[in-house]
């Protein structure tokens, strides 16, 4: 812990680096928490004195709190509705994909029934349900959880304004390549500007698109006669089945990247999607 | 929004927030083999209820021009057991039972005397394939009128010469495109497609379109485990499109 806090304090001091000589971190790290606090507070007093001729009391208190090494920087990143819908959606998506692949296995083609051409063979062990009827039972059950969690997620994002942290906007376009270069080609890591970087925003916003696409195409496949207008928009029943499959491919493209990033960023990052609280976030304010 | 918290305070807040996710654990019931089958059956039942509740009795399924119909030889034969149960077409009659004013045996000629409807509609299999075919027959609703059926009853049950059996909701049976089909592509139904009479409803999946009809019954009650050949093994009973 002391090391973390020490590093953290150095970060906070970066803004002041130009005007004030950097304190030697070694004695602080070796000192106990109490001495560290005292030393830090003295330093704060030293730093503020020349910069502001008459520091007001609130400023002094604020700086002291920021510099207090016994406190941890934390952010409540994921409100409860986001966490619940995230996990219900994750479970549903797993069931929808595996049972969906079992359903596809019954007619693994997008062409005509006669002559039937097998487009791809889905291995049994990645499927759920055992047979077409069993897979349909899973699919028709979890589609309700999938849609409910998706709709509640989007509704909460919109009405709480929380979407601002994750919605990919045109201004994020420029930041995608530097981030991709960092992840895939070992480029320099761009500075964190918010809860999510542009590449994350692009990924998360895309999943909403995949979700909407799978819901609308799913409605057509489930009730092509009732939703004949929607079927027409997707180019007919036949094409809709391809769109539905494409939406799944979108999710399958997202999930491995998402999981690898979660693994790379460690427990604290993963735990934040369970507890909402992120310890020591990378970004400032 | 970054805040600065005491380490213990952060841990306490995190734990409290973690516990609020506990309700999600009920989904774990789906991992228990004994509960699982019952739960997914309930899920299908709920989907069926939603399907019935949103069914628009006068909304027509898409129809197609003759040029969009697949050639007859590309219309698949589908059967659960034998494709030709060797119905004696000369002596064939349709048995009508249940909540009807005129139960008894009906000949194909009596059925064909009713107004004929020809339509090019999409036949969709639960497996995912579909074909646009050409079908001719009499509306189920006209036949039910002929036999004096109580159309306020809930279900129409059918039994077939190949021991297949099915049941459909009355609203779907009365749909203006729901046929007792005796023609395909302008020709009498061939044996493997269900001669002499089959169901053809463009608002239902293929497994609901029973072939080689033998008995029709109007009823308010379906025997559990006897609602349809595939349905009894787990397919959706409603099977609606």
pLDDT in tens, B41-71: 999 999 999 999 999 999 999 999 999 999 9
Among the ranges given (B82-91, B179-188, B220-229), the one the predictor scored with the smallest mean pLDDT: B82-91
Pick from B23, B38, B43, B51 the residue to mutate for testing the A interface (most A CBs within 10 Å): B43
The full 3-state SS of B53-109, as one line of letters, equals HHCCCCCCCCECCHHHCCCHHHCCCCCCCCCCCCCCCCCCCEEEEECECCCEEECHH
* Domain extent for B117: 33-233
d(CA B34, nearest CA chain A) in Å: 14
* Listed residue (A284, A263, A252, A260) closest to A101, CA to CA: A252
Q: Environment class of residue B192 by beta-carbon count within 10 Å: exposed (0-12), middle (13-18) or buried (19+)?
A: middle
A284 found inside a domain? no
Residues A227, A204 within the same domain: yes
In Å, what is the CA distance from B33 to each residue of B36, B126, B128?
5, 25, 28
- Closest CB to A132: pick one of B44, B46, B127: B127
Model confidence band, residue A65 (pLDDT cutoffs 50, 70, 90) = low
What's the mean pLDDT in A46-63? 46
d(CA B208, CA B124): 10
> Is the pLDDT higher at A59 or at A77?
A77
Q: Are residues A56 and A90 in the same domain?
A: no
Contact B234 A106 (CB under 8 A): no
Task: Note the pLDDT of residue B141.
Answer: 96
Which of the pair, B99 or A164, is modelled with greater confidence?
B99
Residue A67: the pLDDT is 64
pLDDT value at A196 more than 50? yes
The answer on A118 and A64 residing in a single domain is no
Lookup: tokens for B81:
């057991």
In a domain, B190, yes or no: yes
**Closest CA of chain A from B104, distance in Å:** 34
CA B81 – CA B163 distance, rounded (Å): 9
Q: Is residue B18 part of a domain?
A: no
Query: How high is the pLDDT of residue B73?
Result: 92
What is the reported pLDDT for A47?
Answer: 44
pLDDT of residue A177: 87
Rounded CA gap, B205 and B139, in Å?
18
Q: Which two tokens stand for residue B238?
A: 């409603």
* Residue A131 and residue A17 share a domain: no
Higher pLDDT, residue A88 or A120: A88
Confidence of residue B81 (pLDDT cuts 50, 70, 90): confident
Owning domain of residue A53: 2-72
pLDDT at A60 over 60: no
User: Is residue B25 domain-resident?
Assistant: no
Residues of A in contact with B230 (CB under 8 A): 133
Buried b (16+ CB within 10 A) or exposed e, B96-120: bebbbeebeebebeebbeeeebebb
**Number of residues in chain B:** 241
Whether the per-residue pLDDT at A27 is higher than 60: the answer is no
A285 found inside a domain = no
> Chain A residue with minimal CA distance to B30?
A138
User: Is the Cβ pair B129, A71 closer than 8 Å?
Assistant: no
Residue of A96, A101, A108, A113 for testing the chain B interface, max B β-carbons within 10 Å: A113
Contact status, residue A108 vs residue A122, Cβ threshold 8 Å: yes
Q: Show residues of chain B in contact with A130, CB under 8 Å.
A: none
Question: Is the residue at A247 inside a domain?
Answer: yes
Q: Check A70 against B7: CB less than 8 A apart.
A: yes
Q: Which tokens belong to A155?
A: 């509704």
Contact B229, B208 (CB under 8 A): no
**Arithmetic mean of pLDDT, A170-178:** 85
A242, A217 Cβ separation under 8 angstroms: no
Q: Say whether both A8 and A63 belong to one domain.
A: yes
Domains contained in chain B, number: 1
Of the three residues A12, A41, A72, the one that is the final residue of a domain is: A72
Q: Is pLDDT at A6 greater than 70 in this prediction?
A: no
B217: pLDDT confidence band, cut at 50, 70 and 90? very high
Quote the DSSP letter at residue B195. Answer: T
Q: Which two tokens stand for residue B107?
A: 């000949």
Identify whether residues A186 and A81 lie together within a single domain. Answer: yes
Pair A82, A278: CB distance under 8 Å: no
User: Which residue among B7, B43, B129 places its CB closest to the CB of A141?
Assistant: B43
- Residue B8 belongs to a domain: no
Cβ of B130 within 8 Å of Cβ of A237? The answer is: yes
* CB-closest option in B7, B70, B234 to A134: B234
Indicate if A54 and A127 belong to the same structural domain.
no
Contact yes or no for B241 and A66 at CB 8 A: no
- Whether residue A35 sits in one domain with residue A163: no
Under 8 Å between Cβ of B201 and B175: yes
B174 within a domain of the structure (yes/no): yes
Percent of all residues in chain A with a pLDDT value above 90, rounded to a whole number: 45
B5 vs B12: CA distance, rounded Å:
11
Question: Is residue B94 in a domain?
Answer: yes
- The label of the residue with tokens 């799944």 reads A248
Report the pLDDT value the prediction gives residue B119, as an integer from 0 to 100.
Answer: 96
Q: Is residue B238 part of a domain?
A: no
Q: Are residues A150 and A223 in the same domain?
A: yes
Residue B15 located in a structural domain: no
Question: What's the CATH code of the domain at B220?
Answer: 3.90.420.10
Cβ-Cβ contacts under 8 Å between A and B: the total is 159
Q: How many helices (H) and strands (E) does chain B have?
A: 5, 11
Point out the domain boundary residue: A41, A72, A103: A72
CB atoms closer than 10 angstroms to residue A183:
16
Residue A265 lies in a domain: yes
Measure A26 CA to nearest chain B CA, in Å: 23
Please name the member of B4, B56, B241 whose beta carbon is closest to the beta carbon of A71. B4
What pLDDT was estimated at residue A90? 95
A67 and A111 share one domain: no
Say which of A133, A275, A277 has its CB closest to residue B230: A133
In this structure, are A68 and A92 located in the same domain? no
Report the percentage of chain B scoring pLDDT > 90: 88
pLDDT exceeds cutoff 90 at A66: no
Instruction: Give the predicted TM-score (pTM) of the model.
Output: 0.83
Inform me whether the pLDDT recorded for A126 exceeds 80.
yes
Q: Is residue A122 part of a domain?
A: yes
Q: How many structural domains compose chain A? A: 2
The pLDDT, as a whole number, for residue B164 is 94
Rounded (5°) CA angle A243-A247-A253: 135
Across the interface, do B234 and A277 touch by the CB < 8 Å criterion? no
Q: How far is B185 from chain A (nearest CA, A)?
A: 17
Nearest CB to A91 within list B6, B27, B127: B27
Of the candidates A116, A228, A277, the beta carbon closest to that of B10 is on: A277
Please report residues of A whose CB lies closer than 8 A to that of B234. Answer: 133-134, 136-137
Q: What interface predicted TM-score (ipTM) does this complex get?
A: 0.93
Above 70 in pLDDT, residue A23? no
Q: What is the pLDDT of residue A285?
A: 65
DSSP code at position B159: E
What are the start-end ranges of the E strands in chain B?
Answer: 2-6, 94-98, 104-106, 116-124, 130-139, 155-160, 165-169, 179-184, 187-188, 198-200, 213-219
Domain assignment of residue A162, yes or no: yes
From chain B, the residues in CB contact with A230 under 8 A are none
Mean pLDDT computed over every residue of chain A: 79
pLDDT reading at B20 higher than 80: yes
pLDDT at A42: 42
Q: Are residues A35 and A50 in the same domain?
A: yes
| Nearest chain B residue (CA) to A281 | B2
Boundary (domain end) residue, out of A72, A105, A130:
A72
**CB of A150 closer than 8 Å to CB of A213:** no
Name which residue leads in pLDDT, A68 or A231. A231
pLDDT level of residue A173 (50, 70, 90 thresholds): confident
């Amino acid at each position: 812990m002391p090391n973390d806090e020490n590093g953290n304090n150095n970060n906070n001091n970066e803004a002041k680096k130009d005007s004030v000589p950097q304190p030697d971190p070694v004695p602080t790290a070796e000192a106990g928490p109490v001495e560290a606090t005292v030393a830090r507070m003295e330093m704060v007093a030293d730093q503020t004195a020349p910069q502001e001729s008459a520091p007001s009391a609130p400023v002094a208190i604020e700086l002291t709190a920021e510099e207090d090494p016994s406190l941890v920087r934390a952010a409540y990143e994921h409100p409860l509705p986001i966490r619940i819908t995230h996990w219900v959606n994750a479970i549903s998506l797993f069931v929808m994909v595996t049972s969906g692949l079992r359903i596809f296995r019954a007619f693994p083609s997008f062409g005509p029934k006669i002559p039937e051409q097998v487009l791809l063979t889905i291995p049994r062990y990645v499927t759920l349900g055992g047979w077409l009827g069993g897979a349909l039972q899973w699919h028709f059950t979890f589609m309700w959880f999938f849609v409910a969690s998706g709709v509640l997620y989007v509704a909460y994002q919109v009405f709480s304004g929380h979407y601002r942290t994750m919605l990919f906007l045109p201004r994020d376009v420029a930041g995608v390549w530097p981030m991709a270069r960092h992840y895939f080609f070992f480029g320099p890591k761009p500075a964190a500007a918010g809860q999510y970087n542009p590449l994350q925003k692009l990924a998360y916003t895309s999943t909403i698109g995949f979700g909407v696409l799978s819901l609308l195409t799913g409605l057509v496949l489930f009730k092509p006669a009732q939703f004949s207008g929607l079927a027409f928009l997707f180019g007919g029943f036949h094409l809709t089945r391809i769109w539905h499959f494409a939406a799944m491919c979108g999710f399958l493209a997202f999930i491995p990247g998402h999981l690898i990033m979660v693994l790379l960023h460690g427990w604290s990052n993963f735990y934040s999607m369970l507890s909402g609280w992120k310890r020591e976030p990378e970004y400032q304010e | 929004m970054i805040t600065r918290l005491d380490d213990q305070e952060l841990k306490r807040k995190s734990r409290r927030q973690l516990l609020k996710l506990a309700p999600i654990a009920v989904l774990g019931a789906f991992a228990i083999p004994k509960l699982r089958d019952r739960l997914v059956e309930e899920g299908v039942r709920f989907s069926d209820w939603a399907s019935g509740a949103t069914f628009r009795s006068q909304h027509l399924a898409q129809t197609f021009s003759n040029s969009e119909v697949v050639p007859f030889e590309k219309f698949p034969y589908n059967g659960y057991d034998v494709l030709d149960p060797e119905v004696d077409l000369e002596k064939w009659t349709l048995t009508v039972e249940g909540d009807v004013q005129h139960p008894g045996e009906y000949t194909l000629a009596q059925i064909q005397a009713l107004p004929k409807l020809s339509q090019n509609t999409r036949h969709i299999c639960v497996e995912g394939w579909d074909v646009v075919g050409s079908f001719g027959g009499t509306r189920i609703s006209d036949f039910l009128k002929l036999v004096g059926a109580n159309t306020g009853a809930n279900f129409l049950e059918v039994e077939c010469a190949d021991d297949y059996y099915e049941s459909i909701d009355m609203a779907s049976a009365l749909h203006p495109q729901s046929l007792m089909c005796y023609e395909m592509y302008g020709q009498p139904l061939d044996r493997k497609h269900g001669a002499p009479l089959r169901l053809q409803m463009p608002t239902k999946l293929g497994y609901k379109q029973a072939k080689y009809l033998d008995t029709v019954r109007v009823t308010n009650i379906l025997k559990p485990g006897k609602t349809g050949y595939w349905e009894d093994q787990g397919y959706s009973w409603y099977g609606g499109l």
